[in-house]
Structure 1
């Protein structure tokens, strides 16, 4: 049962930061970030509100919360990227994602608004990532919650995983329920 719960919660596994990177990995991570909005379009196509409100696991978020969370989280990531590129090791402020997922906009704003936001945001994000110079990948921000410097290349890896992780939660729920 515990293994099944872990598989539901982390369908592509728990994120592990790589020790380093190369051009092939960067291209893979950028491609995953670029593809996420289209993957989400596919995952929620023709789902009704009741299906979108069903949690992917007991005690987990539903698709509405996941999609709005992705918009919130990835907007923060994009701002962190731009801060890291324009300041020397800026300190970024963490936020409580669980509290954000309970705010009123989550259920008052349709998910397609956040998916549209993700399409626009990821277009800009990928444009920045595809034009970074080698030294830019090593620029970083200081993450207060993790108490460490996070280089841009590592953040890119993490958010490539993050998008795939949440997309897969929705996709597998859809598959399990034969929607």
Structure 2
């Protein structure tokens, strides 16, 4: 029997995949109900309190714990959520005020390396998340079923995406990164 080479973390690909996607990958809901949308909006509305509870009292050492091998630190995850959700909020507003606007993709991996994303002080990003999600929840709760079908064009993926499916994606995104922070804390940043 030939032994498969192991990675430097002594984990198999399934274990690494579980660390990368602790709640599983996002699956688009081709059909969804307004009840589904209400549940997704609740996830988005609750996110600031959840991420703040997990992170506000962490030490600088803990904020530098990785969520998985070769992954981001807890502080980078917090800063990333502020960046990502600001971009998504703007995409919602563009889709609601323009006909299928072409959005601007960005290199999230590069953004996490910028000085404002590597600071140990996460308080400003937590404030951004808190204020942004309050406004986002107001906007989302005001949308009609017709408005949820408004779209934007993503040039990187070459697809039109409607706001209902985007709401689903960001509900998942919130839970995805909360799970990353929880696993970083559970593993104390070591794998």
With normalisation by structure 1, the TM-score equals 0.95
Distance 1:109 1:64 in 2: 6
Distance 1:2 1:75 in 2: 32
Deviating above 6 A after TM superposition, structure 1's stretches of 4 or more consecutive aligned residues are none
Change beyond 3 A, Cα 1:56–1:109: closer
User: In the TM superposition, what whole-angstrom CA distance separates every residue of 1:127-175 from its partner, at most 9, and x where no partner exists?
Assistant: 0000111210100000111101000001100011011100111012213
Distance 1:156 1:21 in 2: 11
User: Could you tell me which of 47, 50, 53 is aligned with 1:39?
Assistant: 50
User: Which residue does 1:155 correspond to in 2?
Assistant: 166
Higher Rg of the two aligned structures = 2
Is the aligned partner of 1:175 residue 2:186? yes
Q: Could you say which structure has the higher helix fraction?
A: 1
Distance 1:42 1:63 in 2: 13
> How big is the shift at 1:109?
6.7
User: Could you tell me which of 101, 121, 146 is aligned with 1:90?
Assistant: 101
User: Which residue does 1:131 correspond to in 2?
Assistant: 142
Distance 1:109 1:82 in 2: 31
Unmatched tracts of structure 2, length 5 or more: 1-11
Aligned residues: 178
Q: How well do the aligned residues superpose, as a CA RMSD in angstroms? A: 1.3
